[in-house]
Structure 1
Amino acid sequence: MSEQKTKLQKYSAPALEKGLDILEFLSLSDVSPTLSQLAQGIGRSKNEIFRMMIVLEERGYIERQEGDLFKLTGKLALLGGDRTDNGKLAELAEPYMNRLAEEIELSNHLWVPNGKKELIVVNSVSSSQNYGVTVQVGYTTPVFPTSVGACFLSDFAREHDRLTFLRSIVPGESEDALQEFSDQAAICAEQNYISLSSPESNAISEISTPIRHGADQSVIASLTIPHFASALIDNRREFVIDALRATAAQLQTSIATRMPLPRTPWHQLA
């Protein structure tokens, strides 16, 4: 007589099991496997897991590297960690970021403060195109002299306050450079976006818009679109900027209703 099945044994979810097999295998791999190596490692065929790999990649759990090698992103760690404000913000932003990437066919990423001198990516959505600029979750950049930093600096309404703060975080920097960056922050406050060259490469430009929250509408995050400088983006520039600002406005509305508690102003962080 066969043993009676337990409640857990009665039910199965083959697609979920495949997805978990993939994630567990990648988490234990010291190197990034190919699709064939991954399939062999979990005892399945490439055809069995191909569609699952596409979904995991689109949802940001895995990423495809050069040579069609696969690795985990930092998203699992983000979801599995403490339910911090940044984690909640990243989750709230994801559907808006996905729609933006589909609309403009460019990647975008969400920055939050990592102290008062530095900013960190907490969510990133890749472009649907075969090429583009993608920044990974966990990547950091200084406030000065980046487009995302200008978004946060736009929190200061007065030029004196902007310059005083900049002198405190980049002591020794020339006054001309600080003044120019302060002026960029003022432009960002006026037009609700700013476009600057990436400090990593002059060939890459970054269009950023602030995400504001609370009664004082302080900047708590910034949504950024990085792109290669080209005639193609120049022809679509206004369309991309309008889509970015519209997405930011929608995200702000969601944050206002789902994250009502005030946050410590970024310039008061350690």
Structure 2
Amino acid sequence: MAKVETKRRGRTPDKEPVASAYRAPALEKGLDILELLASQAEGLTLSQIAQRLARSVQEVYRVVLSLERRGYVRRDEDDSFQLSMKLFDLASNHLPVKRLLQSALPLLDRLATRVEQVVVISIIEGQETRVVMVADNPAPIGFRVRVGTQRPVFKTASGRVLLAFQPESYRQKLVRELAEASSENDKQANRYIAAVEEIRKRGYEFVSGETLGGITDISYPVLDANGVAMAALTMPYLVWVENNVQLKDAAQQLYECAASLSEEIGGHLPQPDLSGLKS
């Protein structure tokens, strides 16, 4: 009889009430709100949040204000709430990102030496990109990119690549924010969306003469296990007479470096079609 009693106590169903007792309702409300806002292209008011979570306004009011005070959500002029970039900042301090940067430096240095070009890693910060790592061109002729440089997302190849490989809801939300911030209309926002969709389909971005004449920017995403760009690997390819590495070859080597870095954080970067690049 004692044996039977012991066996009954060990059954899985008997453990369920214990697990339920350790739930944190306030924390779960906060997580529900963050997950809801992350899935929206536009902000939500308190009443909309409450309605979509099937809760009362009173239930979500204090939680939303706490999230706002801690910087996880921001309030717009119409009293709607959107996610801030704080969760991204936390993710940037997470081990996979640190491992990425630690692994990147020797790879970037070797690549810059082989192709005699500058190679940079950038991340997205709100409506801007920030350069977080630079491997300088070892050749006697070149130009300099400074660590910490910030540029508007749509003004750089790296920014457009980073945006193209973000989750769809976040991507479209940020595109519309960028269009509104520059007083551009929905038509322009739709053009932005089409542009990043084309980059996503192609797998990389390349543009000539955007920053300086004679330079073609080539940029690939560094993808995590969910296919989200944690960073962009970019080469501002400088055309000069003594460089024996042609554009297409440099672009292929840049891809191989981006693919290796993606593998470091559990991602996979498919081989793109580079036939559109001139040799």
TM-score by length of 1: 0.55
Distance 2:126 2:106 in 1: 28
Number of matched residues?
172
Distance 1:176 1:84 in 2: 37
User: Which runs of structure 1 show a deviation greater than 6 angstroms over 4 or more consecutive aligned residues?
Assistant: 230-235
Q: Partner amino acid for 1:209?
A: Y
User: CA 1:235/1:124 → structure 2, altered by over 3 Å: closer, same or farther?
Assistant: closer
2:250 to 240, 251, 254: 240
Where in structure 2 are the equivalents of 1:89-108 lying within 5 Å? Answer: 89-108=100-119
1:147 to 138, 144, 157: 157
**C-alpha deviation, 1:173, in angstroms:** 2.5
Percent identity (aligned)? 22
User: CA 1:164/1:124 → structure 2, altered by over 3 Å: closer, same or farther?
Assistant: same
Distance 1:137 1:123 in 2: 6
Alignment pair present for 1:223 and 2:233:
yes
Deviations 1:210-265 (A, max 9, x none): 01113x211110000013356888981211111111110111112239xxxxxxxx
Q: Partner amino acid for 1:224?
A: T
Q: Partner amino acid for 1:165?
A: L
Q: What is the aligned partner in structure 2 of residue 6 from structure 1?
A: none
The answer to whether the 8 Å contact 1:133/1:227 transfers is no
Distance 2:109 2:221 in 1: 18
TM-score by length of 2: 0.53
Q: What is the aligned partner in structure 1 of residue 130 from structure 2?
A: 120
Deviations 1:50-98 (A, max 9, x none): xxxxxxxxxxxxxxxxxxxxxxxxxxxxxxxxx9345553222101111
The answer to whether the 8 Å contact 1:211/1:222 transfers is yes
Q: Partner amino acid for 2:147?
A: V
Distance 1:112 1:211 in 2: 10
Where in structure 2 are the equivalents of 1:197-208 lying within 5 Å? Answer: 197=208, 199-208=210-219
Deviations 1:136-195 (A, max 9, x none): 11111111132111111212576x975543121231125565444433322322232111
Alignment pair present for 1:129 and 2:171:
no
Distance 2:251 2:143 in 1: 17
Unaligned runs of 5+ in 1: 1-82, 258-270
SS in 2 for 1:144: helix
User: CA 1:221/1:161 → structure 2, altered by over 3 Å: closer, same or farther?
Assistant: closer
Distance 1:173 1:198 in 2: 24
The answer to whether the 8 Å contact 1:145/1:181 transfers is no
The answer to whether the 8 Å contact 1:147/1:195 transfers is yes
Give the superposed CA RMSD.
3.1
2:176 to 167, 170, 176: 167
Q: What is the aligned partner in structure 1 of residue 27 from structure 2?
A: none
Deviations 1:20-68 (A, max 9, x none): xxxxxxxxxxxxxxxxxxxxxxxxxxxxxxxxxxxxxxxxxxxxxxxxx
User: CA 1:201/1:180 → structure 2, altered by over 3 Å: closer, same or farther?
Assistant: farther
Where in structure 2 are the equivalents of 1:258-269 lying within 5 Å? Answer: none
Unaligned runs of 5+ in 2: 1-91, 268-279
Q: What is the aligned partner in structure 1 of residue 19 from structure 2?
A: none
The answer to whether the 8 Å contact 2:179/2:185 transfers is no
